Amino acid sequence: MGLLLYYPTVNPPTEVVHQALLYWDGLASVVPRDPRVYGAVAGRELRQLEERGLYQPLAFTDESLDVLAEPGRSDDPWISGQTSSLLVEELRRMAERPDRPPPGSFPEAVIYTSKISDWLGELLLDLGLARHDRSDYRSFMADLLVPQEVQALIIGVLARELAADPDISLFPYTDSAGAYRNSLRPNSSVTSLAWEAELGRLLPVPAPGTPTADVLAFREKYADERIRLMRALHRMLGDLRRDYEHPADVFAQFRVELSQAVHDYQGARRSSRMAWVHRSVTVSVAVAAAAGGALLLPDVGWLLGTVGGYALNVATREIRPLARARDEHEFSYLHRVENGLS
């Protein structure tokens, strides 16, 4: 199923951790390469999950984005040329705005310098979009304080670049609406199309306060049910990406399989002693390149069908594609932690 790749910060909220443990093979996030910084910022729960093989910290190398390094590598990271250009263009546009956002404060809007390349850090300082912060006792970090909008843009782009790596299956996932929009928003010259679907009804999470140990126990006991659900869902989304001209036909092919998987998973949830809640989870599915700029449907919610008694709605939107998008999938998830579904 792949790993849930959380961004823009290192440590996800507990609800996202639980989402990763239930519906993916595990969790990943973009971390500083400096092992001292990584050791200082990674939370205790992440380190425990890492020991169990359920969390993977990811860092960039200077060779290419096809190589993922463990924290501690001293190489300077680079991102692909086209994406670098798009990122620089967006940052310059921010810096030239009359209402240019000022750098934030630690730790709400920080970028660790060993998460990004030297040239990018220097550009942020030159544009007035960042300032050094050595007030924290961990002065070796040489943090860059940036506006939250800048943090969301940079880490969102890096996460999507990591997700393009052919050797590891990663699904970008964020609880920051700003990071989600910034990593997908269209460029003035190059745009593509994507389906956008609300899946929160199909992917419930344990209620706030549920111990992660209980989630891990559920993960192991009901592995077949949860894996069956996610495989059916991702197969449907993958076909929706490729057969973009016939979305209703795609749904019809998977409706019985997906409905059965949802039914079985609902039974597993009822058998558990945990309380469950529905949170909004939106997935953006980039359609095949052949779709070009043709408008598939109006940019409003459209009913594909019903699964397990829950309506599955989709809409279309424009996105900015990456130069190295994967053929198998290009999915991005937005999790609204505070938004319950009535």
pTM for this model (two decimals): 0.82
| Confidence at residue 33, expressed as pLDDT on a 0 to 100 scale | 79
Distance in angstroms between the alpha carbons of the first and the last residue of the chain: 28
| Confidence at residue 186, expressed as pLDDT on a 0 to 100 scale | 46
Distance CA 214, CA 206 (A): 9
Assign 210 to helix, strand or coil: coil
Domain range summary for the chain, segments of one domain joined by + = 3-163, 191-319
User: What are the tens digits of pLDDT across the range 154-188?
Assistant: 877 777 777 777 778 888 898 888 777 765 554 44
Q: Residue 187 burial by CB count (10 A; 0-12/13-18/19+): exposed, middle or buried?
A: middle
| Confidence at residue 48, expressed as pLDDT on a 0 to 100 scale | 94
Distance CA 329, CA 322 (A): 13
Q: Residue 242 burial by CB count (10 A; 0-12/13-18/19+): exposed, middle or buried?
A: middle
Tell me the CB-side half-sphere exposure of residue 284, using CA atoms within 13 A: 24
- For residue 75, give Cα distances in angstroms to 59, 63, 66, 67, 142: 10, 8, 14, 12, 17
| Confidence at residue 220, expressed as pLDDT on a 0 to 100 scale | 96
E strands, 253-325, in order: 276-277, 279-286, 302-307, 310-319
Hey, what amino acid is at 322? L
Distance CA 237, CA 126 (A): 42
Which residues on adjacent β-strands are paired with residue 315?
196
| Confidence at residue 19, expressed as pLDDT on a 0 to 100 scale | 94
Assign 148 to helix, strand or coil: helix
Q: Residue 193 burial by CB count (10 A; 0-12/13-18/19+): exposed, middle or buried?
A: buried
| Confidence at residue 51, expressed as pLDDT on a 0 to 100 scale | 94
Tell me the CB-side half-sphere exposure of residue 27, using CA atoms within 13 A: 29
pLDDT along the chain (342 residues), means of 10: 88 94 94 82 91 89 38 44 73 87 67 78 88 59 78 78 77 83 55 79 92 96 95 88 79 91 94 91 76 52 81 74 51 70 47
User: What are the tens digits of pLDDT across the range 233-255?
Assistant: 989 888 887 777 778 888 889 99
Residues 6+ apart with CB under 8 A from 223: none
